[in-house]
């Protein structure tokens, strides 16, 4: 935003037939918005809380660590989760898993490729 203010323009107050000089005074004031404009979207990275029945990529979707879920969701009392060493490897890719009722604790390691959750309440990083 810019605002320009012009001061008085005219002669210097002399009104003489022998003097034809005039002076001009111009005042310019520029007001600049000093707040920085954010042109970049907020940084989105791995999360420390997540939910949903899907596979989450470690390091991309979620960060490694200890997580807790309150248990089953969607009318179910049981919650299933698994840590995976690769994608699409079937049972051979399962490093650890659990299917149980009630609160669940899972440790997701930095070298895990993925973490799958089914019928679980939201997971929250606790350590």
pLDDT in tens, 34-44: 555 556 666 57
Assigned token pair, 86: 């690769």
Does this model's pTM top 0.85? My answer is no
CA atoms of 74 and 92, how far apart (whole Å) = 29
What is the average pLDDT across 93-106?
96
Residue 98 corresponds to which tokens in the numbers above?
Answer: 């659990």
Contact between residue 40 and residue 56 where contact means Cβ atoms under 8 Å apart: no
Task: Convert the pLDDT of each residue in 2-58 to its tens digit.
Answer: 444 444 445 545 544 555 566 666 666 666 555 555 566 665 789 999 998 999 999
């Amino acid at each position: 935003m810019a605002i320009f203010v012009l001061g008085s323009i005219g002669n210097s107050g002399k009104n003489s037939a022998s003097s034809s000089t005039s002076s001009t005074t111009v005042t310019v004031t520029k007001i600049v918005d000093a707040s920085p404009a954010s042109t970049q979207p907020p940084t989105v990275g791995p999360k420390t809380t997540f939910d949903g029945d899907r596979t989450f990529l470690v390091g991309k979707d979620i960060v490694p660590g200890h997580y807790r879920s309150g248990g089953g969701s969607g009318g179910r009392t049981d919650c299933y989760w698994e840590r995976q060493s690769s994608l699409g490897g079937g049972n051979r890719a399962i490093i650890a898993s659990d299917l149980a009722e009630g609160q669940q604790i899972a440790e997701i390691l930095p070298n895990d490729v993925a973490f799958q959750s089914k019928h679980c309440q939201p997971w929250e990083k606790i350590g």
